């Protein structure tokens, strides 16, 4: 009988994102057998200590020349071969851009069911794993059961507490025996966002702007608030489509789904597609001059007023509080 859980994550120069530790915490609570972490690329071997400290019993690091650049089909085959070799019960992926691309490919190779963007994974009464995931643009949550022998899940970032185990995961030497020449799709170039920009899906505080900001140059007002808060910057889809901000800022049903502790919606009316992307926020603060804007129905706190007066005053007050602290 298959047991154990394989946690699949990406890394950069030996650093993994917080969601990897969140997945390990979930896996440790659920796994009847060992929890194995799998990661790829140059520096992957340096992730063992951190992954072990947060719950990996053993770590597989594919850092050969075949894994220098991301390959959707190549990485998927490597993960599938690893899952079959270890005979794991389930695989966990992060529900970020990387995981959303890779998880369904692996599920297809394993002929396994996939539950994506999960907010909870739990052990059902029949002993199998189940999941909770948002449906209908975040208006409801569904409990999902996967009937295939192996189960694949992707976990929404920033919704699970992490737990340190105080140990180092054992290095597990494996080789899927793949040749990079056989890979059909390989990333050849990566264009990074401006330095200092926090990753939206893992940010604790987000300051996001919409059409009410009126022009690209006015986003400096929001950037000042984000700087005062130590927050990430986001936006609604229309302003990203207009080119006021990079598309990497876009939050919503067709953009990034976020789960921060505090989400500032500034000049955002609150279209259903945007609300779907922020439904996991613990607190929503809306700042809008239109008292009838739909965003106020979703907000925990609302300020009806001119954002060009409210936001600078808020940033100034926050800096004063930090200075006195």
pLDDT, mean of residues 193-213: 83
Q: For position 1, what pLDDT does the model report?
A: 61
Residue 143's domain is classified under what CATH number? 3.40.50.620
Do 152 and 218 sit in the same domain of this protein? no
What's the pLDDT tens digit per position in 226-237?
999 999 999 999
Instruction: Please give the pLDDT value at position 194.
Output: 56
The 10s digit of each residue's pLDDT in 295-323 is 999 999 999 999 999 999 999 999 999 88
pLDDT at residue 141 in the model: 92
Is 192 part of a structural domain of the chain? no
- The CATH number assigned to the domain holding 277 equals 3.40.50.1220
Q: Provide the pLDDT for residue 195.
A: 47
Domain membership of residue 193 (yes or no) is no
Establish if 195 belongs to a structural domain. Answer: no
Closest C-alpha among 308, 311, 325, 324 to residue 227: 311
Average pLDDT, integer, range 22-29: 94
Instruction: Note whether 20 and 9 are within 8 A (CB).
Output: yes
288 shares a domain with 150: no
- Residue 180: pLDDT above 90? no
Judge whether 194 lies within some domain. Answer: no
Matching residue, tokens 């936001």? 311
Same domain, yes or no: 169 and 250 = no
- What's the start-to-end Cα distance of the chain, in Å? 56
Q: Do 162 and 218 fall into the same domain? A: no
Residue 70 token pair: 């991301």
Domain assignment present for residue 235? The answer is: yes
Q: Is residue 178 part of a domain?
A: yes
Burial string for 89-122 (b: 16+ CB within 10 Å, else e) reads: bbbbbbbbebbeebbbbbbebbebbbbbbbbebe
Q: Mean pLDDT over residues 196-218, rounded? A: 89
Does one domain contain both 22 and 128? yes
100 with 173, same domain: the answer is yes
Q: Are 119 and 221 in contact (CB under 8 A)?
A: no
The count of structural domains within the chain is 2
> What's the pTM?
0.84
- Joined tokens for residue 233: 């910057």
Question: Domain boundary residue among 128, 153, 182?
Answer: 182
Find the mean pLDDT for residues 137-145.
Answer: 88
Instruction: State whether 155 and 217 are in the same domain.
Output: no
Q: Are residues 106 and 139 in the same domain?
A: yes
Q: What is the pLDDT of residues 55-89, one digit of tens each?
A: 999 999 998 888 988 999 999 999 999 999 999 99
Q: Are residues 53 and 141 in the same domain?
A: yes
Residues 155 and 15 occupy one common structural domain: yes
Give residue 118's pLDDT band: very low, low, confident or very high (50, 70, 90).
Answer: very high
What domain range is 320 assigned to?
200-324
Going by pLDDT thresholds of 50, 70 and 90, the confidence category of residue 6 is: very high
> Is 66 inside a domain boundary?
yes
Band of residue 193 on the pLDDT scale cut at 50, 70, 90? low
Please indicate, yes or no, whether residues 148 and 21 belong to a single structural domain of this protein.
Answer: yes
Domain limit, last residue, from 130, 150, 182:
182
- In tens, the pLDDT along 270-301 reads 999 999 999 889 999 999 999 999 999 999 99
The residue out of 182, 209, 239 marking a domain boundary is: 182
239 shares a domain with 207: yes
Alpha helices in 44-152 (DSSP H): 48-53, 72-86, 97-110
């Amino acid at each position: 009988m298959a047991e154990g859980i394989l946690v699949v994550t990406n890394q950069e120069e030996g650093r993994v994102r917080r969601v990897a530790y969140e997945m390990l915490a979930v896996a440790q609570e659920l796994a009847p057998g060992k929890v194995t972490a799998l990661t790829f690329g140059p520096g992957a071997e340096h992730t063992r200590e951190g992954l072990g400290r947060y719950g990996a019993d053993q770590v597989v690091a594919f850092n050969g020349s075949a894994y220098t650049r991301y390959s959707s089909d190549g990485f998927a085959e490597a993960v599938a071969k690893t899952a079959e070799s270890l005979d794991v019960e389930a695989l966990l992926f992060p529900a970020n851009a990387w995981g959303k691309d890779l998880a369904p490919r692996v599920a297809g190779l394993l002929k396994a069911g996939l539950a994506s963007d999960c907010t909870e994974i739990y052990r059902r009464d029949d002993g199998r794993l189940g999941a909770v995931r948002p449906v209908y643009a975040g208006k409801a949550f569904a409990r999902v059961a996967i009937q295939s022998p192996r189960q694949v899940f992707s976990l929404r970032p920033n919704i699970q507490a992490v737990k340190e185990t105080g140990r180092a995961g054992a290095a597990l030497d494996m080789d899927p025996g793949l040749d990079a020449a056989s890979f059909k799709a390989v990333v050849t170039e990566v264009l990074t966002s401006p330095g200092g920009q926090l990753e939206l899906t893992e940010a604790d505080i987000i300051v996001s702007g919409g059409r009410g900001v009126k022009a690209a140059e006015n986003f400096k007002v929001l950037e000042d608030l984000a700087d005062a808060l130590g927050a990430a910057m986001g936006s609604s889809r229309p302003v990203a489509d207009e080119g006021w901000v990079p598309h990497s800022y876009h939050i919503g049903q067709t953009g990034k789904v976020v789960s921060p502790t505090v989400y500032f919606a500034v000049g955002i009316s609150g279209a259903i597609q945007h609300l779907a992307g922020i439904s996991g926020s613990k607190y929503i603060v809306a700042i809008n001059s239109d008292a009838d804007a739909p965003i106020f129905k979703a907000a925990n706190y609302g300020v009806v007023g001119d954002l060009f007066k409210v936001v600078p005053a808020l940033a100034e007050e926050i800096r004063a509080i930090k200075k006195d602290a």
